[in-house]
A and B are shown apart, each in its own frame.
Chain A
Amino acid sequence: MTDAATSYAGYVVAAYSVSVLLIGGLILWTFISGRMARREILALEVETDRVSGRRGAPTSNAVADSKL
């Protein structure tokens, strides 16, 4: 390997590091936002049950979902 090729290795490392950072960040962000949405839905279900006072009874969530 020539000296020039050796010095180029730094550019390759930089390019792959940026790739890992960006794609890894995107994967992490997608995963975390999915989890947050699921948690918020569960929290709202608890709140809906509390308001209706009929835990386990059918709620209008199905109606709300069908309007999406």
Chain B
Amino acid sequence: MGLANPAVFMRWSGRVLPYVSLASAACLMLALWMAFQAPADYQQGETVRIMFVHVPAAWLALFVYSIMAASALGTLVWRHPLADVSQRAAAPIGMVFTLLCLITGSIWGKPMWGTWWVWDARLTSVLVLFLMYCGILALWRAVEDPLKAARAVAVLTLVGFINVPIIKFSVDWWNTLHQPASVLRMDGPALHPAMLWPLLAMAGALSLVAISLHMAAMRTEILRRRLRARQIVLLDRLSRLDPSERVTA
């Protein structure tokens, strides 16, 4: 596969990234406009607009973690050269979307449930996802050898993937304060189209933002690895110089 080569990925992503970034900015503007054009809910009033950020953030938190799990498989099974680059680039993005989901959910919960937080299955499992992201980022920094770090993080990511179906089905398996799924369900969406379309538009726009950020972060990670490799080459050269030459160098 041609894109397995970091040099090919850098060339390809360098051409595509400006267009994806522009498209995501345009889609985000359109989605925001749609979110504020949508009617207020007859029960929830204006707070229903929080849904247009909260729900896509929750979807992306799970989606980014799924990408990381696929990348972890790529690292452990196929040793794909870009797999751990992708995993490392995705972790901060997933962490931010999970935090956004938690904070906006809390802000939405206060007027609707009368409380900022409850320790029910959905909220707690999303908090566990956030802690998993933090743990993965900490592990990357804690292990000095990049290869060992990539393998340790891949194992942790795959173990943590068990939390993804738990989050999705927590509202069905346990009696929670959080409402059950209203978009991704077998009987079709329970939302009125006036609210469904802005929600889907925002989900599409934020997905494009996440894709462009992931691509940009992967490019940065490849550059950082090149930097490390070049530093080793430079140090090797310096060590081969005669002591007299070393002083002038």
Contacts and interface: CB of A to CB of B under 8 A. Distances in A.
Contact of B230 (A11, A50, A61): A61
Contacts of B6: 65, 68
Interface in B104-122: 104, 107-108, 110-111
B47 A8 contact: yes
B210 to A, nearest CB: 9
Contacts of A14: 107
Nearest to B57: A19
Interface of B is mostly: helix
Contacts of B93: 26
Contacts of B224: 37
Q: How large is the interface on A (under 10, 10 to 19, 20 to 34, 35 or more residues)?
A: 35 or more
Interface string B214-233: 00110110111111011111
Q: How large is the interface on B (under 10, 10 to 19, 20 to 34, 35 or more residues)?
A: 35 or more
B234 interface: yes
Contacts of B107: 11, 14-15, 18
Nearest to A35: B220
A23 B227 contact: no
Interface of A is mostly: helix
Contacts of B233: 48, 59-61, 63-64
Contact of B232 (A8, A51, A64): A64
B218 to A, nearest CB: 10
Given A11-B46, A65-B229, 20 more contacts: A5-B40, A8-B44, A11-B47, A11-B50, A16-B49, A18-B104, A22-B99, A23-B96, A26-B92, A27-B213, A30-B220, A31-B216, A34-B219, A37-B223, A41-B223, A44-B234, A48-B230, A48-B234, A64-B229, A66-B7
24 contacts: A1-B40, A5-B45, A8-B46, A8-B47, A11-B110, A12-B47, A15-B50, A15-B53, A16-B49, A16-B53, A26-B93, A29-B92, A30-B216, A30-B217, A30-B220, A34-B219, A34-B223, A37-B223, A41-B227, A51-B238, A64-B230, A64-B233, A65-B7, A68-B226
Interface of A: 1-2, 4-5, 8-9, 11-12, 14-16, 18-19, 22-23, 25-27, 29-31, 33-34, 37-38, 40-41, 44-45, 47-48, 50-53, 59-61, 63-68
